[in-house]
Amino acid sequence: MTTPATALRTCAYAGDLTQVRNLLREGVDPNVADEHGRTALSHASGQGHIAVVDALLAGGAWVDPREDYDVYETPLMMATFHGQLEIVKKLVEAGAHPGFHVGFAQRTAESYARNNGHEAVANHLAKLQLD
């Protein structure tokens, strides 16, 4: 059986903006995570679905659902891991903390970007740390 929160995460991952909006209108909580700590915003961020990211943020998704030194990745980490520069910018603008150390490796978003060959993302995040 699929729960409404699972449906929202699935639609966010797939980039189904219409269904994401419908589920949010029905009151589905965008902050319910799966067993791996991933929220709908994490899925949309990693997959590069910027319109879905916008809808989730407008629908109350937490931009930083984790604490510093948590074992789960944040939506920002998912975006950096996959090189989604525009989503990285949007999440930071919305309040995501680029200096958090998360995941099993306890790395920062910049580290995730560099390790995955996303230099533009890494350079953007490094500049933010200097400002």
pLDDT less than 70: residues of the chain:
1, 65-71, 104, 130-131
DSSP annotation of 111 = H
- What confidence score (pLDDT) does residue 1 get? 58
- Show the domains of the chain with their CATH numbers: 4-130 (1.25.40.20)
- What confidence score (pLDDT) does residue 63 get? 92
Rounded to 10 deg, the angle between the 85-93 and 119-130 helix axes is 20
Find out whether 101 and 68 touch, Cβ atoms under 8 Å.
yes
- What confidence score (pLDDT) does residue 83 get? 96
Q: Per this entry, what is the length of the chain?
A: 131
- What confidence score (pLDDT) does residue 25 get? 98
- What confidence score (pLDDT) does residue 85 get? 97
Helix (H) or strand (E) holding 63: none
